[in-house]
Chains A and B, each alone.
Chain A
């Protein structure tokens, strides 16, 4: 395992991401809620660039106390979406939303001074 320089923490704006090539691996580095998360950039579906798509909130069906459907809204979970086919992943865990048993490989982030590194 080696530490690969991503850059200054401030280089990745809150809510954004960058992709690091670390040897033969591509890793997506996300900055969300003041924390950094790092995942394999290879989708578990057909191998698409999983970290390079839309970042969005989860969609929720609103069901009232009587079990009646009252429309849809956005929830408080953040997902990133593989742009090839729309596979969605939980930004905080790397879990695939359609089947949470499936998870993208997660990498550790190390902060040294103003710089952040991904361990891969």
Chain B
């Protein structure tokens, strides 16, 4: 009888290669027959700062362009950043060594490397978002956010989205400049691969400001969603009291979206723009179920504070979309099942990986849930997003 040969290999953390790093994800994809159905990742990332020299060329103002180029690679510059040891002291070594990976020649390296991890996980389409720019809404200079946003969006459309149909994006809205936000939708709304627009949540502009209404109306008219992508700010007065990254991350990624959601609902935006699709990204799920109960409870006693609402706040929240990651998976799955029921997961929940960030989720986080049937799994993993983004439901991935 032939015995299978055993293979013994050393572990070299510095030899980073995406297919090897995600080999176990590919095993999962094959074992669960992901090739048979569509998987859409509504929130994944690249590191746009690695291509800032390309992006800066798209800056319209010669003065800002010059400042950005002058500051590139320097200790301080014209762009803001955040304190945050996301790779847990080097434990998530992907963050440290992924930069050594060489992309195969051909298309832009961000396309090649993105397709590598998508195929390894079994993903057909991904919605690509930036990484450092998630904090750009906290920049003290409004014109810098607007300029960077315009340049990044133009670069993304021209260099990435136009050249790879499996990568789409909800483009960055320069929300601190309402007029620029409106112009962004006008300028990029019909570009190839643009499936919506995204507001980075850490910022201090209320979503119900009248200045935004024409942008919401325009988005409703063109039928593309607005999304709010969570992040933290350790400079926030309340979050400054936390002393560990686990704390600012756990709270921060809910905090700003809870405020924006509360303002969105209480000020009747779902009533004023009933066809506008709204998505909440990277806050997990428990916050939404909690906030529904909290707002419903208060609403019954204070309807005069929210006179536009014809139903309880939870009614409107159940019509919005929620990305899954970082999906809380409690020991008691019945708690999770209740959350799924409250947010209408069957139609409103859309899977997201957040790859390559430190707390990414695989499709198996949904596929392996014991209380979902096959149809529900496929809805959440891809069909819901395909309807929202108007994507072809035929699988196109190549699982290795």
Chain A residues engaging chain B, CB cutoff 8 angstroms: 2, 4-7, 16-23, 42, 46-49, 51-54, 56, 81, 83-86, 88
Number of interface residues of B (CB under 8 A): 29
Name the one of B6, B93, B364 contacting A4, with C-beta atoms under 8 angstroms: B6
Q: How far is the CA of A4 from the CA of B7 in the complex (A)?
A: 9
Contacts of A51 in B (CB 8 A): 11
- The answer to whether the Cβ of B262 comes within 8 Å of any Cβ in the partner chain is no
Interface check B88, CB cutoff 8 A: yes
State the Cβ distance, A4 to closest chain B Cβ, in Å: 4
**CB-CB contacts of B1-14 with A at 8 A, as 1s and 0s?**
00110111111010
The answer to whether A18 and B8 touch across the interface, beta carbons within 8 angstroms, is yes
- Tell me whether A19 and B9 are in contact (CB under 8 A): yes
Instruction: Give B23-37 as 1s and 0s: 1 = Cβ < 8 Å from A's Cβ atoms.
Output: 111011000000000
Query: Is B358 touching A54 in the complex (CB atoms < 8 A)?
Result: no
Q: Give the distance to chain A from B327, nearest Cβ to Cβ, in Å.
A: 11
B residues at A contact (CB < 8 Å): 3-4, 6-11, 13, 21, 23-25, 27-28, 88-94, 358-362, 364-365
Contact A53 B93 (CB under 8 A): yes
Q: Compute how far the CA of A51 lies from the CA of B93 in the bound complex, rounded to whole angstroms.
A: 13
Residue of A nearest to B90 (CB): A54
Pairwise interchain contact A17-B6, C-beta atoms closer than 8 A: no
The answer on a CB contact under 8 Å between B91 and A56 is yes
Contacts of A5 in B (CB 8 A): 6, 8
Given contacts A47-B362, A53-B13, could you give 11 more A-B pairs where the C-beta distance is less than 8 Å? A5-B6, A6-B8, A16-B11, A18-B9, A19-B9, A21-B6, A47-B25, A83-B21, A84-B92, A86-B92, A88-B91
Establish whether residues B3 and A85, one from each chain, have CB atoms under 8 Å apart when the complex forms: no
**Chain B residue nearest in CB terms to A2:** B3
Residues of A within 8 Å of B4, CB to CB, are 23
Known contacts A18-B8, A22-B6, A23-B4, A54 near B24 by CB under 8 Å: no
Please name 21 pairs of A and B residues whose Cβ atoms are closer than 8 Å in the assembled complex, sorted by A: A2-B3, A4-B6, A16-B10, A18-B9, A18-B10, A19-B8, A20-B7, A21-B8, A21-B9, A46-B364, A46-B365, A47-B24, A47-B362, A49-B23, A53-B13, A53-B91, A53-B93, A84-B360, A85-B92, A85-B360, A86-B91
A51 to B359, CA, bound (A): 18
| Whole-angstrom distance between the Cβ of B213 and the nearest chain A Cβ | 41
CB distance from B333 to the nearest CB of A (A): 16
Q: In whole angstroms, what is the CA distance A81 to B362 when docked? A: 18
Residues on B with beta carbons closer than 8 Å to the beta carbon of A47: 24-25, 27-28, 362, 364
Q: Closest CB-CB distance, A109 to chain B, in whole Å?
A: 13
Whether A85 pairs with B90 at a CB distance below 8 angstroms is no
Would B11 and A52 count as touching, CB distance under 8 A? yes
Distance to closest chain A CB from B15 (angstroms):
11
Chain B residues within 8 Å of A18, by CB: 8-11
Residues from chain A with Cβ under 8 Å of B88 in the complex? 86
**Which residues of B have CB within 8 Å of A19?**
8-9, 11
- Contact at A54–B362, with CB atoms within 8 Å? no
Measured between C-beta atoms, what is the minimum distance from A41 to chain B in Å? 8
Q: How far is the CA of A49 from the CA of B361 in the complex (A)?
A: 15
> Would you call B11 and A46 a contact (CB within 8 A)?
no
Q: Cβ of A42 and Cβ of B24 under 8 Å apart?
A: yes
User: What's the least CB distance linking B290 to chain A, in Å?
Assistant: 23
Q: Could you say which of B6, B24, B27, B90 has the most chain A C-beta atoms within 10 Å of its C-beta?
A: B6
A21/B364 contact (C-beta < 8 A), A53-B91, A81-B91, A83-B21 known: no
Residues of A contacting B92 in the complex (Cβ-Cβ under 8 angstroms): 83-86
Min CB distance, B369 to chain A, in Å?
13
- Chain A nearest CB from B46 CB (Å) reads 19
Q: Are the C-beta atoms of A46 and B93 separated by less than 8 Å?
A: no
Q: Which residues on the A side are within 8 Å of B28 (C-beta)?
A: 47
**Which A residues are CB-close (under 8 A) to B3?**
2
